[in-house]
Amino acid sequence: MKLYPLYFNSSQGNVQEFILSSISTIYDIQILLSISFTVIYFITIFGNTVIILIIQLDIRLHSPMYFFLTNLSFLDLCYSSVTVPKLIDILLSGNQKISFYGCIAQMYFFHVLGSSEMFLLASMAYDRYVAICNPLRYPIIMRKEVSLQLGAGSWIGGFAHSTFHTAFLLRLSFCGLNNMDNFFCDATPLIKLACSDTTIDEIMLIVTPGILGPLCFLLILVSYHNIVISILKINSAEGRSKTFSTCASHLIVVSIFYGTAIIVYIQPMSVYSSANRFITVFYAIITPMLNPMIYTLRNKDVKRALQKLLCQEIRPL
């Protein structure tokens, strides 16, 4: 890791910039990684943008399920944009510096998007529960106003959660160390650099995700418990398979999201290590690319709408 001179704010004694870690210090590997992440970023932007456009252009997809999918695609598009461009810059130019407030902004929006996705996945599970367990009442329960409220609530919850954490972190003093053990600014490695008492921040970092995360996950489990019971009551195997396929993509995304998040965040501060960076690469960079693929490849309606859109574009030629 390169070492840089420290810059201090003379009035407050705070570090004015941080030095982010690079995933690799070997030049050839850095070039290979930069090319790989650039391709992944392009696929992420393209894939999620295509899903958003397809849903907006095809009136048959104007339903609560696809409204939530639009939000998820937009979240993933932004999620990747918060971290990947700076990582590519680090790998190509070696510029590992990020200003203090740039670091805070990056961390803030990363947690806004991550928390919003957590709430959104719970909303999507509730939507599938109503569609499968109460199909006759689905248009009434999941009317447009309710869908908008759940979508807006997911975003508001994300902003509230991130604002709460960021406000606590801004109380800390950074007066010496500025080499961050991560390739982007995140709460845990940032707290480890503070020279003031971080007890409250460490507790809040464990307690808040430890309450909200399991609560959202519990809502998802309850929804799918009822979904499974309803599916088992269907007589035909074909009917059970068809019904389950409508929520299989969501289950895969939930498993990936919570599986990686638990490893990184639901652990004591002392256990956090640089090895978490490689897990972070998966959920911060790879997952936003996988989500549109998961929903496109497993969703007949989206594939049908995509084929229709492509045929309309090709036909005049």
Smallest CA-to-CA distance from 247 within 111, 93, 130, 103 is with 130
Residue 75 has pLDDT above 80, yes or no: yes
Q: Please report which confidence band the pLDDT of residue 14 belongs to, taking 50, 70 and 90 as the band edges.
A: low
Burial degree of 28 (CB within 10 A; 0-12, 13-18, 19+): exposed
| DSSP tag of 283 | I
- What are the pLDDT digits (tens) for 160-172? 999 988 888 888 8
pLDDT attached to residue 1: 45
Q: What is the mean pLDDT of residues 234-244?
A: 80
CA angle 113, 39, 256 (to 5 degrees): 45
Go through 97-123 and write b for each residue having 16 or more CB atoms within 10 A of its CB, e for each that does not. bbebeebbebbbbbbbbbbbbbbbbbb
pTM: 0.85
pLDDT attached to residue 4: 43
Structural domains in the chain, sorted by start: 17-314 (1.20.1070.10)
Q: Please report which confidence band the pLDDT of residue 12 belongs to, taking 50, 70 and 90 as the band edges.
A: very low
Task: Tell me the C-alpha distance between 204 and 44, whole Å.
Answer: 32
Higher-pLDDT residue of 193 and 219 is 219
Q: Mind giving me the DSSP string for 44-57?
A: HHHHHHHHHHHHHH
| DSSP tag of 8 | B
Q: What is the mean pLDDT of residues 95-124?
A: 92
170 Cα distance to chain centroid: 23
In the chain, DSSP assigns E strands to 17-19, 97-99
Q: Alpha helices, DSSP H only, in 134-198?
A: 138-141, 144-169, 187-192
Task: Give percent of the chain above pLDDT 90.
Answer: 31
Residue 6 has pLDDT above 70, yes or no: no
